[in-house]
Amino acid sequence: MKKRRPVLLPALALLIALPAYADRYPVPKNAPYQEECASCHMAYPPQLLDANSWRAVMNGLPKHFGTDASVDEKHRVPIVDFLTRNAGGGKTGVTVDASGKPLLRISETARFVRKHRELSAATFKRASIKSPANCGACHTGAAEGDYNDDHVRIPK
């Protein structure tokens, strides 16, 4: 039995670390994504939308939430590839609207709604927050991909 200890201990450490991993979504490094998709808002974690939604977002950039976020094809193609490769799949919950169209917002996915159901619409509209899309307003570690509830500060 003694011989097994060095194997068991790291396995145990991993088990303890696992729950913390569920609230970490670090954005993998990708130059075109950072360049084109992190100027108006943070670079959202690709893991929080599924691949169909990312394709739909990337196919609608000229009409992107009331702004024009078009990028040239030289950048668009690698960004689509990056986003779909790192997409969240089924873990993001339902990612289509009532008519079956892919949702374009992380903040409308079933998982997001469930995780934020204790917050009222009025809270999200505060001047200090403005929108559910403004993750960093409440998640102080959002830039590092840290969404742990211990690091949430909801501004007044």
Whether residue 135 contacts residue 116, with contact meaning beta carbons closer than 8 Å, is answered with no
CA dist list (Å): 99 to 31, 93, 143: 35, 16, 33
Does 151 contact ligand HEC by CB under 6 A? Answer: no
Figure out which of the listed residues 52, 134, 143, 145 binds ligand HEC, where binding follows CB under 6 A: 134
Conformational region of residue 148, where left means phi above 0, alpha means psi within -120 to 50, and beta covers everything else? beta
Does 41 contact ligand HEC by CB under 6 A? Answer: yes
Whether residue 17 contacts residue 60, with contact meaning beta carbons closer than 8 Å, is answered with no
**Which positions ≥6 away from 55 have C-beta within 8 Å?**
80, 84, 102
Does 103 contact ligand HEC by CB under 6 A? Answer: no
Does 87 contact ligand HEC by CB under 6 A? Answer: no
Figure out which of the listed residues 3, 7, 39, 62 binds ligand HEC, where binding follows CB under 6 A: 39
At its nearest, how many Å lie between ligand HEC and the CB of residue 15? 18
Closest residue by Cα to residue 56 from 94, 29, 95, 28: 95
Does 64 contact ligand HEC by CB under 6 A? Answer: yes
Figure out which of the listed residues 118, 120, 121, 127 binds ligand HEC, where binding follows CB under 6 A: 118
Binding site for ligand HEC (CB under 6 A): 22-23, 36-37, 39-41, 44, 48, 57, 61, 64-65, 67, 69, 71, 79, 105-107, 115-116, 118-119, 123-124, 129, 131-135, 137-139, 147-149, 152, 154
